[in-house]
Structure 1
Amino acid sequence: MPLPVKSGNLKKRMILRPQIWACSVAIAALMMPAAHAQQPEATATAAAEAKRDFSLAAQPLSSAIVRFAAQTGTNILVDGTLPANIRTAPVRGKLSIDAALAQMLSGTGYSYRRNDARSFTLIRPGAQNAAKAGDADVQLNVITVSTGTPSVSGLVAGKDAPYETTAAVTSIDAATLQEKNAGNIDNALRASAGTFTRKAMSGAGVAVNIRGMEGYGRVNMMIDGARQNIRVMGHGVSGGSAFVDSDLLAGMDMGRGSLGGAAGVGTLGGAANFRTLGIDDVILPGNSYGAMSTIKFGNNAYDWSRMAAAGARTQNGIGIMGAFNRRDSGAPKSGVDEKGRRLINPNQQEDLKSGLAKLEFGNGEDHKLLLGGVWYNNKSTIRSEPQTYRNQTYTARYDFTPDNDLIDLTANAYYNDAQVRFTEGNYAGQFTRDKGMGIDVTNRSHLDLTNDVALKLTYGGAYYHDDVTNGQSWGTGGPGDGKIGIGSLFTDATFSYGMFDLTTGFHYDTFRLQGDVARKRGSETVLEAIDRSDSSLNPRVTLAVTPVNGIQLYSTYAKTFRPPTVTETFFPGAHGKTPNPTSPNPDLEGETSKGWEFGVNVLEKNVLASGDALRMKANYFSNDVENYITSGPYSMKNMPMLKFINIPGKTRIKGFELEANYDSGFAFAGISYSKTKTDLPYGMWSDGFGIGELNGLPDYTVTINAGFRALDEKLTIGGQIRRVGKTKAVKPPMGPQLIDVEGYMLADAYASYKYNENATFFLNIENITNQAYKPAQYMDAQKLGRGRTVIGGMTLRF
């Protein structure tokens, strides 16, 4: 049984490091000189009651008590698990040690007891701590701390983290995705503020739309930090899709607007990271090995989905796990239309096989290495053209977190190989392939500049490279071959003084684009090599104020930049095996966005009753986009031609977003609301050949969710209403005229029962009223969405 440990032993014992420390014992800060220990009791008491200046930011509980102990010279004893998702309140001002500790623990559910002038015992919610005041020889059990949930630098993961971040960020966990949305990524994203999707009628792939920005890297879509940059021109979502299996996801993290860190490199409107299952998702706490299986079955051609995973971890910090999933869905029926019909859409058939493997070294140590591989294979059909989808993602993440406020280092590297191939029909054998690789390194440092001013630095660099091939010679199909490399240096410096936080930062992005374009020389067509580069400095500044604990106001001015892609620059303009009147454009300029954002965060606990929580995030934004790229016409020998062009002038995007949730334990309710107004132009042949996209978001979206828990909160029953406003679509078959698409409202219900830690059962009913509707942002407005679908399943863990 370990004894209380002084701060000098923190690094050696690896205690309570955020995110990677696996076990915690009683900890203490600086050991005071022996002479101090011999002071009279009255003097020690007076020192404890004396006020001093504090400046501690909100942070995970495990790291907060380490910093608190170090600043105060006290010993803090811990008994019980410290979950990594519990964050403390900020502590600022001139306070006594007791008052500062009470303020720091406010809202966490934890309390404390003073043992003597220099020692405290932390008490977990609802527990009677075994440590007694004055027991110098208290022995505490080694306990497990829940490991953190890492995401890409610039994004956050966890229930509370978005409401403590001065940026428009959202995090969706696996339970919300699976139990509330039956694993439907599109439904989960569309129920989040400021986030939407473009959906091909096929079930394969997801294209994330943020604030009307979509495609060609405007939104940085990632799988475990690996960028997904494949783009298919015609019979696909041309701006790009991410091919990932929702049954292998542990969560999704999104950021809207300007983002710091690696997530914001070379992107215009935001980022979305799809986090896959890890070792800690499979192995139950306290176990060294485990297995997990999720089995689902649904009507309306959903059929069976079967996922199985297993993992093990040794005492020396080595862990391994693997997972496999199989889903073979048929053609679902729509809801009942005005003529009483239920239409069948065969383009939503899927034949999915996917899997992953993770290998971990150094869990619970200063050094940690995580290696991962994710494999995705699917078959589907887009507009009567059968396709296969293959995506392989390989990642490596290294964390170095010594007991040093200047070093908290993370390095990520990846290789991603994605391919879409036509297997039958008019374009059999044609394919698009993107081989991407990248690396990013980020370090975080904390400094106390004075007794009143604290500084947090986040800085690093990133580079990624894409090699695009299509398997055809020029002019016979595909978006064109080429390569692009993008590098960036980034930094954010946050100065904290009292209730104020000032963050200044920038991205310096540079790119190099290479490929061939065809030129006419007399009667011959020759290829000309293009090699061009450019750079952009993108500053960002945020001022935040926390007038009272739990409420934070912030304002941000930022510039973002997106270089032209290989697809836009070198697209030769062919559809099928016959060249069409289109042309590449090697003179494209990159897009920029400049604008303001105003936001408020609310994170209050124990509001109406003990243990409840109110979480709210609201944002207003206004941005001007310059050099927006879309497909447009030009004339050549009196013949209309098409190529990607820069739209002159500025294009305004503005809107309001709200996410609010209240949870008392017994009952919960929430609302998500988005209203975005955009004048973004749509491209020639948008939604027809799928060359340009129509970025016409619905007038508004709102999702209202409510429910209750019973049987000691093992049973959860809830429902949600999804209201989507009217939108625009291209008039069939290819426009250019637009038509109105009516809005719609859908009702869903869900329930789950956690029998014990080993078994959870769940049921989801989508579109309860069996309504026929035309989904917004679908590629073909003539198609109808899925009718009433009931999906039930269970998750078993051993």
Structure 2
Amino acid sequence: MSQRKHPLSPSLRRPPLVSLPSGIVLGMALALSNTVSATEPQNTAVSVQRQMLEFNIAAQPLDRAALAFAEQAGLQVFFDSARLQGLSSRGLQGRYTVDEAIRELLGATPVSYHFSGPRQITLSRSVQTDDQAIQLPTITVVDEGARYTASDLQYHEPRSVSVITREQIERTPPRHAADMLEESTGVYTAVSQQDPGLSVNIRGIQDYGRVNMNIDGMRQNYQQSGHQQRNGTMYVDPELLGGVTVEKGASSGMGGAGVIGGVAEFSTLNARDFIHEGKEFGGQFRATSGLGDYANGTNFIGSGVFAMGNDIGDFLIAASERHLGDFDPGTKGSIGELRTGSWSNPDIEDRIKNSPVDYSGFTMRSQLAKLGLNLPHDQRMQFSYLRTQVSYDDANMLDTDNEALWEKLGDSNIVSQNFALDYNYAPDNPLIDVKAKLYLVDTRNDQSNLARGSSQAYDVTYKTITYGLQAENISSFTLSENSILKANYGLEVFHDKVSPDSNQAVASSSAVDYPSAEGLTPSGTRTMASLFTRLDYEYSDWLNLNAGLRYDRYRLRGETGMNIRTFILGTTQQTNEPLLFDVDREEGRFSPTVGISVSPGVDWIQLFANYGKGWRPPSVTETLVTGSHSTGSSTMYPNPFLEPERSTTWEAGVNIFREGLFTSEDRLGIKVAYFDTKIDDFMFMGYGLRRPGYQPIATIGTAAYVNNLETTRFRGVEYSLDYDAGSYYGNLSYTHMIGNNDYCKLVTWLGGSMDAVSAGSRQPITAMVPNEANNQQISCGGGIMGTAEHMPMDRGSLTLGARLLERKLDLGMRARYSAGYYLTVNDDERVDMTYPADWKPYTVYDIFGRYQVNQNLALHFSIDNLTDRAYLVPLGDVLAFTLGRGRTVQGGVAYRF
């Protein structure tokens, strides 16, 4: 008789209760498969133990490492999931016997193992009491041929999570960091191919910390004002990443402070990815280049990693470089007509498609170093340093009236440095699993701007430093034979300091004593502090309830100002009078979350629903911005009275994970989720506003961040499917967005509109009185700048692959699809839009391959955009209108030692 179990659920069968002095009973068992008889001859078990196999398992939580070991060894591994919480494995790379491999993986953890069948391993952990060690039994429920990968875990999480593995990144080496995210549901990037910065959009939400973009938990809060297409960018080289995890919606866990969209964590490589017991050093070299006439600007992408370590500690050093030139876009198919002007002159479209995308090349150099120490009493400390330097040319917007489509505005040299000190304490105690981090992120852009028109050349440095502190603990309690409670609680604090500097002259008419270049990304500080707790209750193998509560508090400080017009009383003379603000705002708010998941009768299906509140206070720039671009006719003004955004998100979905569906080793994962996020007081850049003072007419050149008087809503459905039968596999993802948003604002956003009182025409002004009609005027529809003007469009991807020649050769294809969203010259709604929607539908086909020559050497190639399709990625920068790459052929080599 066999029983199939959900890999992350407790077993249907329970171990006997064990009496401990503390009164805590731990008896949850995790089973990875169906029960089978272990009656094979003893010599078969011995041969399995001595079998030499190739392993590649990163250091990670022990329960996940056990899943990876089971997959790579082709064995069944049985363990009590709750008892392994807080324990971490060693990395495991190279050829080992099965017996050697499991010993190396477990290392010094308080976990023993034994072969409970010819192809079955059981893990057990001891609980130390005051006078004895009690060995808790483990229930083994076996499923022949169980196999799990990191990407499979998203189909066991009762919430919306996307996982991008190292394997996915390596299939088609990304030219731009945004390329990594194209296969993830609900994730977009407002990307311009002329800017190597990455801005993550989750379900339509982005900018100013709405999405926590971080590297190894370190927030990347750098922001530099442009034309509102991206207000928050990070710089990272995919060569140094081990994977990406995207969690969507509000959170009561670490990283959720001030977040309403979700968390995108980019995880770097670790030393234990390359070393193991008996192998105290290792590493990897990778090199990729464009091939032949279709290199298309891919000059070189490469990296080197060296790691060494033992039981005392470990060390990793890595470096990467990418040298990219301007590329040619695709030439087939149609592109947008409004931004290009091709609606009136079709020849313009052909010109754009047959011209290189100027200023799309850049040079990136990154260095990574990690030093970890294994301290006594189950403690570990690690220091890490990551530096990324990027040099590129700044380009103006597409202009089809000029001989050159894009004009060079200057150049940027960005340096981002990340320092972190991590501490872990995970003794053999279910109540203690402490993690803490201190970090500093220093990102600066030394930018040179060329002279244009009447504007002189000038230099400016934009700099953001983020100081961060994180601390959390996880405690697990077994309440009864059928129930367990886990508590995750901690705090998070980060402080942003924005400090621009420029040699640009201060305008004589300026109300503040700094130039516009500094005022557009103004000086100021913002501190966020957050306390959080989350409780997870699990009953038997079919019910999970969770509830969390977060308290966020912020403080923002800085100085700003603007000029307003008024009359000198007793005269008819107008004058500009400075209106200055010394901003010091502080506020806090509680945000709850709740969730439920149920397995209704069968363990391979899970229904889930989640509800949560979020809160995001205004950023430094949104509050204090003041100034204008050097050649622009519009001016951005501050808003010290912005209200924080308040979000309400709920989602409902289903997870399906089934093994042995058609063959003994296949597995199928399906995830479908409906989401609905409503945001009150959503902040956006509005224009066509009226300043305080005597200004009876609202001008199109007056802009400021304002709160939306309507509820802003982002909703849709996400679909994910993974199928892997070993020799062939497939992946499908699709995101469907629903509806549109209306944006309404107070035209006189600060109030204070005044009328002049006089005895008659051209008579002296005797008084200034409020203009209530102006102060209460509301404008809806147009007058908004930024990505929020458009809802992200539907998009999806399909990947199909086969593993041939004893699975040494991996060949596959990928199709990327966008439903598009575009308006024509005859659409009335385009009149109300700053940048009308201009994304045409497209399907792009890619081919990839990898051949494992031996255990150390691998060759890879890819052909991106096989049919040379012309396209603009969904939510891509319609302002710059830089098309995606045309047909690009890349090849490379990876050597691991």
Letter of the 1:535 partner, please give it.
Answer: G
Question: How has the CA–CA distance of structure 1 residues 279 and 255 changed in structure 2, closer, same or farther, with 3 Å as cutoff?
Answer: same
Q: What is the aligned counterpart of 2:549 among 494, 506, 521? A: 506
Quote the residue 2:860 is aligned against.
762
Residue 173 of structure 1 deviates from its aligned partner by 1.4
| CA distance in 1: counterparts of 2:543 and 2:583, whole angstroms | 49
| CA distance in 2: counterparts of 1:100 and 1:471, whole angstroms | 59
Q: What is the aligned counterpart of 1:709 among 790, 803, 819? A: 803
Question: How has the CA–CA distance of structure 1 residues 365 and 309 changed in structure 2, closer, same or farther, with 3 Å as cutoff?
Answer: farther
Say if 1:666 and 1:709, in contact at 8 Å, map to a contact too. Answer: yes
For 1:454-509, what per-residue CA distance to the aligned partner results, in whole angstroms no more than 9, with x for missing partners?
10111111000100122145352232111000011111111111211110111111
Tell me, what secondary structure is at the counterpart of 2:279? coil
Residue 305 in 1 paired to residue 301 in 2? yes
Residue correspondence of structure 1 range 459-474 to structure 2 within 5 A: 459-472=489-502, 473-474=513-514
Question: How has the CA–CA distance of structure 1 residues 123 and 59 changed in structure 2, closer, same or farther, with 3 Å as cutoff?
Answer: closer
Question: How has the CA–CA distance of structure 1 residues 583 and 343 changed in structure 2, closer, same or farther, with 3 Å as cutoff?
Answer: same
Say if 1:619 and 1:657, in contact at 8 Å, map to a contact too. Answer: yes
Q: What is the aligned counterpart of 2:878 among 773, 780, 783? A: 780
Quote the residue 1:789 is aligned against.
888
Residue 519 of structure 1 deviates from its aligned partner by 5.2
Residue 56 in 1 paired to residue 28 in 2? yes
Residue correspondence of structure 1 range 273-284 to structure 2 within 5 A: 273-283=265-275
Residue 525 of structure 1 deviates from its aligned partner by 3.2
Q: What is the aligned counterpart of 1:380 among 370, 373, 392? A: 392
Letter of the 1:414 partner, please give it.
Answer: Y
Say if 1:630 and 1:681, in contact at 8 Å, map to a contact too. Answer: no
Say if 1:573 and 1:579, in contact at 8 Å, map to a contact too. Answer: no
Letter of the 1:655 partner, please give it.
Answer: G
Question: How has the CA–CA distance of structure 1 residues 579 and 375 changed in structure 2, closer, same or farther, with 3 Å as cutoff?
Answer: farther
Residue 347 of structure 1 deviates from its aligned partner by 2.1
For 1:647-688, what per-residue CA distance to the aligned partner results, in whole angstroms no more than 9, with x for missing partners?
01312211100111010110101100101125346899xxx9
Residue 748 in 1 paired to residue 790 in 2? no
Q: Which moved more, 1:495-504 or 1:571-580?
A: 571-580
Tell me, what secondary structure is at the counterpart of 2:355? strand
Say if 1:169 and 1:254, in contact at 8 Å, map to a contact too. Answer: yes
| CA distance in 2: counterparts of 1:313 and 1:690, whole angstroms | 55
| CA distance in 2: counterparts of 1:577 and 1:124, whole angstroms | 76
Q: Which moved more, 1:231-240 or 1:765-774?
A: 231-240
Residue 452 of structure 1 deviates from its aligned partner by 2.6
| CA distance in 2: counterparts of 1:125 and 1:232, whole angstroms | 60
Say if 1:352 and 1:378, in contact at 8 Å, map to a contact too. Answer: yes
For 1:714-748, what per-residue CA distance to the aligned partner results, in whole angstroms no more than 9, with x for missing partners?
11101111111112589999952624421111000
Quote the residue 1:253 is aligned against.
245
Say if 2:311 and 2:374, in contact at 8 Å, map to a contact too. Answer: no
Residue 598 of structure 1 deviates from its aligned partner by 0.4
Residue 125 of structure 1 deviates from its aligned partner by 8.4
Residue 382 of structure 1 deviates from its aligned partner by 3.3
Question: How has the CA–CA distance of structure 1 residues 535 and 125 changed in structure 2, closer, same or farther, with 3 Å as cutoff?
Answer: farther
Residue correspondence of structure 1 range 570-589 to structure 2 within 5 A: 570-576=624-630, 580-589=634-643
Quote the residue 2:589 is aligned against.
536
Quote the residue 1:670 is aligned against.
731
Residue correspondence of structure 1 range 729-740 to structure 2 within 5 A: 736=834, 738-740=836-838
Residue correspondence of structure 1 range 412-431 to structure 2 within 5 A: 412-426=437-451, 428-431=458-461
Residue 123 of structure 1 deviates from its aligned partner by 5.4
Question: How has the CA–CA distance of structure 1 residues 398 and 120 changed in structure 2, closer, same or farther, with 3 Å as cutoff?
Answer: closer
| CA distance in 2: counterparts of 1:58 and 1:165, whole angstroms | 15
Question: How has the CA–CA distance of structure 1 residues 60 and 665 changed in structure 2, closer, same or farther, with 3 Å as cutoff?
Answer: closer
| CA distance in 2: counterparts of 1:576 and 1:186, whole angstroms | 30
Quote the residue 2:690 is aligned against.
635
Please report the TM-score for the alignment, with normalisation by the length of structure 1.
0.79
Q: What is the aligned counterpart of 2:666 among 612, 625, 634? A: 612
Quote the residue 1:18 is aligned against.
none
Letter of the 1:398 partner, please give it.
Answer: Y
Tell me, what secondary structure is at the counterpart of 1:771? coil
Letter of the 2:499 partner, please give it.
Answer: T
Question: How has the CA–CA distance of structure 1 residues 58 and 509 changed in structure 2, closer, same or farther, with 3 Å as cutoff?
Answer: farther
Say if 1:683 and 1:694, in contact at 8 Å, map to a contact too. Answer: no
Tell me, what secondary structure is at the counterpart of 1:779? coil
Letter of the 1:787 partner, please give it.
Answer: G
Say if 1:751 and 1:763, in contact at 8 Å, map to a contact too. Answer: yes
Quote the residue 1:332 is aligned against.
327
| CA distance in 1: counterparts of 2:866 and 2:177, whole angstroms | 19
| CA distance in 1: counterparts of 2:876 and 2:186, whole angstroms | 18
Question: How has the CA–CA distance of structure 1 residues 367 and 625 changed in structure 2, closer, same or farther, with 3 Å as cutoff?
Answer: same
Q: Which moved more, 1:499-508 or 1:340-349?
A: 340-349
Q: What is the aligned counterpart of 1:679 among 737, 740, 748? A: 740
Question: How has the CA–CA distance of structure 1 residues 488 and 751 changed in structure 2, closer, same or farther, with 3 Å as cutoff?
Answer: same
Residue 428 of structure 1 deviates from its aligned partner by 3.7
Residue 280 of structure 1 deviates from its aligned partner by 2.1
Letter of the 2:803 partner, please give it.
Answer: R
Q: Which moved more, 1:575-584 or 1:274-283?
A: 575-584
Quote the residue 2:533 is aligned against.
491
Letter of the 2:114 partner, please give it.
Answer: T
Tell me, what secondary structure is at the counterpart of 1:356? strand
Residue correspondence of structure 1 range 333-352 to structure 2 within 5 A: 333-337=328-332, 339=350, 342-352=354-364
Question: How has the CA–CA distance of structure 1 residues 190 and 747 changed in structure 2, closer, same or farther, with 3 Å as cutoff?
Answer: same
Tell me, what secondary structure is at the counterpart of 2:874? coil
Residue 409 of structure 1 deviates from its aligned partner by 1.0
| CA distance in 2: counterparts of 1:124 and 1:787, whole angstroms | 54
| CA distance in 2: counterparts of 1:689 and 1:303, whole angstroms | 42
Q: What is the aligned counterpart of 1:409 among 427, 434, 442? A: 434
| CA distance in 2: counterparts of 1:681 and 1:785, whole angstroms | 30
| CA distance in 1: counterparts of 2:118 and 2:666, whole angstroms | 13
Quote the residue 1:164 is aligned against.
156
For structure 2, the 5+ residue unaligned runs are 1-14, 34-48, 69-75, 84-97, 100-111, 123-148, 334-349, 396-407, 452-456, 503-512, 565-574, 746-781
Q: Which moved more, 1:570-579 or 1:453-462?
A: 570-579
For 1:26-83, what per-residue CA distance to the aligned partner results, in whole angstroms no more than 9, with x for missing partners?
xx999999xxxxxxxxxxxxxxxxxxx996375999xxxxxxxxxxxxxxxx999996
Question: How has the CA–CA distance of structure 1 residues 248 and 689 changed in structure 2, closer, same or farther, with 3 Å as cutoff?
Answer: farther
| CA distance in 2: counterparts of 1:639 and 1:381, whole angstroms | 36
| CA distance in 2: counterparts of 1:733 and 1:58, whole angstroms | 60
Residue 416 of structure 1 deviates from its aligned partner by 0.3
| CA distance in 1: counterparts of 2:118 and 2:720, whole angstroms | 28
For structure 1, the 5+ residue unaligned runs are 1-27, 34-52, 62-77, 90-97, 112-118, 130-156
Q: What is the aligned counterpart of 1:354 among 366, 372, 385? A: 366
Say if 1:334 and 1:772, in contact at 8 Å, map to a contact too. Answer: yes
Question: How has the CA–CA distance of structure 1 residues 420 and 650 changed in structure 2, closer, same or farther, with 3 Å as cutoff?
Answer: same
Alignment coverage as a number of residue pairs: 688
Say if 1:772 and 1:787, in contact at 8 Å, map to a contact too. Answer: yes
| CA distance in 1: counterparts of 2:889 and 2:703, whole angstroms | 45
Tell me, what secondary structure is at the counterpart of 1:621? strand
Q: Which moved more, 1:562-571 or 1:696-705?
A: 696-705
Residue 360 of structure 1 deviates from its aligned partner by 0.6
Say if 1:474 and 1:480, in contact at 8 Å, map to a contact too. Answer: no
Letter of the 2:516 partner, please give it.
Answer: T
| CA distance in 2: counterparts of 1:453 and 1:424, whole angstroms | 63
Say if 1:237 and 1:690, in contact at 8 Å, map to a contact too. Answer: no
Q: Report which of the two structures shows the higher radius of gyration computed on alpha carbons.
A: 2
What is the percent sequence identity of the aligned residues?
Answer: 27
Question: How has the CA–CA distance of structure 1 residues 291 and 742 changed in structure 2, closer, same or farther, with 3 Å as cutoff?
Answer: same
Residue 366 of structure 1 deviates from its aligned partner by 1.3
Residue correspondence of structure 1 range 475-486 to structure 2 within 5 A: 475-477=515-517, 478-486=520-528
Q: CA RMSD in A?
A: 3.7
Quote the residue 2:234 is aligned against.
242
For 1:223-274, what per-residue CA distance to the aligned partner results, in whole angstroms no more than 9, with x for missing partners?
1111111111116853111111111111111011122312211111111011
Say if 2:442 and 2:463, in contact at 8 Å, map to a contact too. Answer: yes
